[in-house]
Amino acid sequence: QVQLVESGGGLVRAGGSRRLSCAASESRLINVMGWYRQAPGKQRELVATITNGGRTNYAGSVKGRFTISRDNTRNTVYLQMNSLKPEDTAVYFCHANLFGKDYWGQGTQVTVSS
């Protein structure tokens, strides 16, 4: 069982920045790690993913503003969020896929005030 522990959420003003971190309790290298988010009344949506080889994928709404990165030695993934907008307000969930099985973190709230 892989546990994912997120940190870095909080309240930030529009135009500001925030960095999320997610550490996995797993020694084996995780294939894909990423971030999803869920706003009130909306479905969970992809934010960004990164493979263990460094290949990234972003939602169109965050491309150019958010950067995903990872430390393979620690199975840790980061999300640097810049130029935040009120519509980025959501609970952000860390995700990992290991040998075809999906794991989720408990979520961390990011609130962007206008």
pLDDT digits (tens, 9 = 90+) for 48-101: 999 999 999 999 999 999 999 999 999 999 999 999 999 999 999 999 999 899
- Higher-scoring residue by pLDDT: 74, 16: 16
7, pLDDT greater than 90: yes
Looking at residue 26, its pLDDT comes to 85
If we measure between CA atoms, which residue out of 8, 7, 20, 14 comes closest to residue 88? 14
Looking at residue 27, its pLDDT comes to 81
Tell me what the mean pLDDT of segment 43-51 comes to. Answer: 97
- Average pLDDT value for the chain: 96
Distance CA 81, CA 33 (A): 17
